[in-house]
Chains A and B, each alone.
Chain A
Amino acid sequence: MKTKTTKLLLNATYLLLLISIIRLITGATDLTSVGTASAALLLSVPIILAGLGGLFSERAGVVNIGLEGMMILGAWAGGFVGSKHGPWLGLIAAVVFGAVGALLHAIATISFGVDHVVSGVAINIMAAGLVRYLSTILYQGGSWPGPSQSPDVKGISLNGLPVLSGGHYFGWQSPDLLTPIAEKHWFLVSDLIGIIRGITGDLSYVTLVAVLFIPLSFFILWKTSFGLRLRSAGEAPVAAESLGVNVYAMKYAGVLISGGLAGLGGGFLAIVAANHYQENQVAGRGYIGLAALLFGNYRPGGILAGAALFGFADALQLRDSASIHALILLIVAILAYLVFRDVKRGKMLSASISAVMAGASVWFFFAVQELPGQLVTMTPYIATLLVMSLASQRLRMPAADGMPYRRGGLR
């Protein structure tokens, strides 16, 4: 276990070193600025929640493509209830709406045995249609400012680590020691401090809760008997049934928790990341959460890694396109590593393909000084595809994931 942790730390250090060098070369200071790190955390929270949602569902053996739809329901409910009754009730409503979407998915897939992907896609289509209908009615009724936008929701207050990252405790405003260091742009030091300050300061309480869900999910799924039963429903439902586990109940629980988490993720988008609901706010984050789950090999820690990556890409593309331009060099570095690896293994063909791609990236880096906006917004999706294609080989999904299950083994 110890070697694994050190390896992880080592890899993280290499990555940070690489990014620091790229920052020095290109002068794209926003790569590791406090603002970027803070935005990255904010943007990875919905993906963490969606990914954890997927985790509970798929560990119970139900594939949940419907996460996207459940997030849409949650975002809408967050805007609708939040604008009327305040952000906290809005978040609760988001959880409830997400769970209602999940209940439909559970009834269709568990009780009726509908194909999981079919049901999930149907829910996504239905959720998008439902919220559009409801928003139109509310707009026509005069209580919404637009047919695709809710009234504003009051914000949830922010806080940070005492002494180091600002924040306020019982009327005392703490100093913020890290920001000045981050702004010095010292090699490596400022990069590291900037990231730490970004993810420890100006946090919404909801962000904190969402991040705590990661260890909590691990604890529930791997250290409690409920978690063991839930996972047994996803690995070997017939065997679990023979040991007295109520497989249906476990699957229902998994899918409902999944919907609640996804709904919270949607509500977070509407209430914390923005201050109102907007159509297309979710924009594929349910699917990206699913990608983070797959990338993270169906484990909470892996989901965090995947979500952080997507959050980082998303934050950079939102903040400034110069950083995305600089990121091309990161792709070059990764491709160079692949060339090196493949040459060592004697795979000349794939090595040369990587080499050509690396060459093209270098050319692109120098040929294009500033990336056009439409292409910059694609960064998170490209990152998802790249990461999926690099990671998918060593995945092990729950053994009975996606299989229809009937009590007594009937088909």
Chain B
Amino acid sequence: MKKLSPQKIALALAAPLAAAVVSIFVSSLAVLASHKSPFNAYTTMWEFGTQGGSLMEVLNTATPYYIAAIAIAVTFRAGLFNIGVEGQLRLGALFSAYIGAMFTLPPVLHVLAVFIVAMTIGGIWASIAAYLKVKRGVNEVISTIMLNSLAVGVTSFLFSKYFAVITEGSNNLATKELPKSAWFPDLVPLLTKLGVPEQPGGSVNGMLLIAIALGFIFWFVVNRTRFGFELRASGANPIAARVSGVNSKKMTFIALVISGAIAGLSGLPAVLGETHSYNMGFRSGIGFSAIAVALLGRNSAGGMAFSALLFGFLEVSSRALELIDIAPETYVIMQGSILLSSVIAYEVVRRFKLTLQSKELAKVVSA
């Protein structure tokens, strides 16, 4: 067993603490710049954000972030970077809403079918970048960014030309509504049974459970299976991996396609749980926030869960800032400064640990 010395605990806490201090400092500056009191802002956010209804909203915001962050983390562990989650999830959401509404199946099967559609579409879209990377050596960061822009064009074209129908009595353009069998149940009834007090107008997207399950699967596959080992090996040291029999090109391809498939799922909380169709108001930017969530969570299942919740909390609770005349966009500053300072802080701590280790080693050797 590893021993927990005070030094180790201090080191583990140092990076998050330093990042928190820096980001509070930076966002306080931002609030001060608009001639308002930062302290007032934080207490308002805390009071609003910890109410029951807001906490449910936090979970709903965090769910797609978490799923999309897992998609990014899969590529990160393989030494790649899929920035194209935004495009993959958008296409996945559009096609799953469109195809899912074309048929009816028994409840659970229908949802599964929609899942398969979303994952297939996301995977296919990501496979373009995977093919270009493996066969043509195109940097996947650039190709996935380009594919994002393409996905926006393709979805808006398909949506407005072929997939959308105008529902009577409203001028909101949307795909045909999914049959009830494809709706993902809300968790509120379940929570009330468990003793959580009901909130007026509150809902908890059932996809939360899928997100949690995905988190476990991600953790297990990456850390406890041969496949996960090969994935990490091809990311950590492609040459060593090749020498020990890992086909790193194959791993690159698989990692990007799996990532795209998971990314496809991250559009579903909205489609299956909230709007039950793909409409004009489909939330954009999930894929980009998820990059920050994955980086902040260090690509570990637990870390990303924490950072997804943190991002969700900041986003939801900052809505209250409008009441005291502060721009709610302050949360973007908070998220950005947390991200950048934590990325730096972790690297500093990692280096510090290395120095400590080599000093200890020197002691042992000289003794």
Q: Which A residues form the contact surface with B (CB < 8 A)?
A: 65, 104, 107-108, 112-114, 117-119, 121-123, 125-126, 128-130, 132-133, 136-137, 140, 283-284, 287, 290-291, 294, 372, 374-375, 377-378, 381-382, 384-385, 388-390, 392-393, 395, 411
Give the complex CA separation of A283 and B347 in angstroms: 31
Cβ contacts under 8 Å, A112 to chain B? 344, 347-348
A137 with B132: CB separation less than 8 A: no
Q: Is B316 part of the contact surface with A, judged by Cβ < 8 Å?
A: no
Closest chain-A Cβ to B263's Cβ sits at a distance in Å of: 16
Of the stretches B105-113, B155-163, B265-273, the one at the interface is: B155-163
Q: Is B143 part of the contact surface with A, judged by Cβ < 8 Å?
A: yes
Give 18 pairs: A residue, B residue, CB < 8 Å, sorted on A. A107-B344, A108-B340, A112-B344, A119-B340, A122-B339, A122-B343, A125-B288, A125-B291, A126-B337, A133-B333, A136-B327, A137-B34, A287-B145, A384-B146, A385-B138, A388-B138, A389-B138, A392-B137
Give the complex CA separation of A122 and B329 in angstroms: 17
Q: Is B173 part of the contact surface with A, judged by Cβ < 8 Å?
A: no
Partner of B142, one of A122, A133, A140, A291: A291
Kindly list the 8 A-B residue pairs having the minimum CB-CB distance in the complex, ordered from nearest. Answer: A129-B332, A126-B336, A374-B157, A378-B153, A392-B137, A381-B149, A389-B136, A136-B327
Closest chain-B Cβ to A141's Cβ sits at a distance in Å of: 8
Give the complex CA separation of A50 and B141 in angstroms: 16
A125 with B339: CB separation less than 8 A: yes
Dominant secondary structure of chain B at its interface with chain A: helix
Give the complex CA separation of A110 and B326 in angstroms: 36
In this complex, the member of A113, A121, A133, A389 whose beta carbon has the largest number of chain B beta carbons within 10 angstroms is A133
Give the complex CA separation of A41 and B161 in angstroms: 33
B333 with A385: CB separation less than 8 A: no
Q: Please give me the residue from chain A that is nearest to B332 by CB atom.
A: A129
Partner of B292, one of A107, A113, A125, A133: A125
Give the complex CA separation of A104 and B26 in angstroms: 14
Give the complex CA separation of A283 and B156 in angstroms: 17
Cβ contacts under 8 Å, A378 to chain B? 149-150, 153-154
Q: Please give me the residue from chain B that is nearest to A371 by CB atom.
A: B157
B347 with A114: CB separation less than 8 A: yes
Q: Given A133-B332, A388-B138, A392-B137, are A126 and B339 also a contact pair (CB < 8 Å)?
A: yes
B340 with A122: CB separation less than 8 A: yes
Cβ contacts under 8 Å, B150 to chain A? 378, 381-382, 385
Cβ contacts under 8 Å, B292 to chain A? 122, 125
Q: Is B147 part of the contact surface with A, judged by Cβ < 8 Å?
A: yes
Partner of A108, one of B157, B335, B343: B343
B143 with A114: CB separation less than 8 A: no
Cβ contacts under 8 Å, B157 to chain A? 372, 374-375
B153 with A104: CB separation less than 8 A: no
Closest chain-B Cβ to A403's Cβ sits at a distance in Å of: 14
Cβ contacts under 8 Å, B354 to chain A? 411
Q: Which B residues form the contact surface with A (CB < 8 A)?
A: 30, 33-34, 81, 83, 132, 136-139, 141-143, 145-150, 153-154, 156-157, 160-161, 288-289, 291-292, 295, 327, 329-330, 332-333, 335-337, 339-340, 343-344, 347-348, 351, 354
Give the complex CA separation of A392 and B143 in angstroms: 12
A129 with B146: CB separation less than 8 A: no
A119 with B343: CB separation less than 8 A: yes
Cβ contacts under 8 Å, B83 to chain A? 121
Cβ contacts under 8 Å, B160 to chain A? 374
Give the complex CA separation of A237 and B333 in angstroms: 35
Give the complex CA separation of A121 and B289 in angstroms: 11
A114 with B343: CB separation less than 8 A: yes
A294 with B337: CB separation less than 8 A: no
In this complex, the member of B138, B147, B289 whose beta carbon has the largest number of chain A beta carbons within 10 angstroms is B138
B351 with A388: CB separation less than 8 A: no
A113 with B139: CB separation less than 8 A: no
Give the complex CA separation of A377 and B289 in angstroms: 25
Closest chain-B Cβ to A376's Cβ sits at a distance in Å of: 9
Cβ contacts under 8 Å, A136 to chain B? 327, 329
Closest chain-B Cβ to A314's Cβ sits at a distance in Å of: 12
Cβ contacts under 8 Å, B156 to chain A? 374
In this complex, the member of B83, B141, B145, B157 whose beta carbon has the largest number of chain A beta carbons within 10 angstroms is B145
Cβ contacts under 8 Å, A133 to chain B? 30, 327, 329-330, 332-333
Q: Given A118-B295, A136-B329, are A108 and B337 also a contact pair (CB < 8 Å)?
A: no
Q: Given A132-B332, A374-B156, A389-B138, are A104 and B340 also a contact pair (CB < 8 Å)?
A: yes
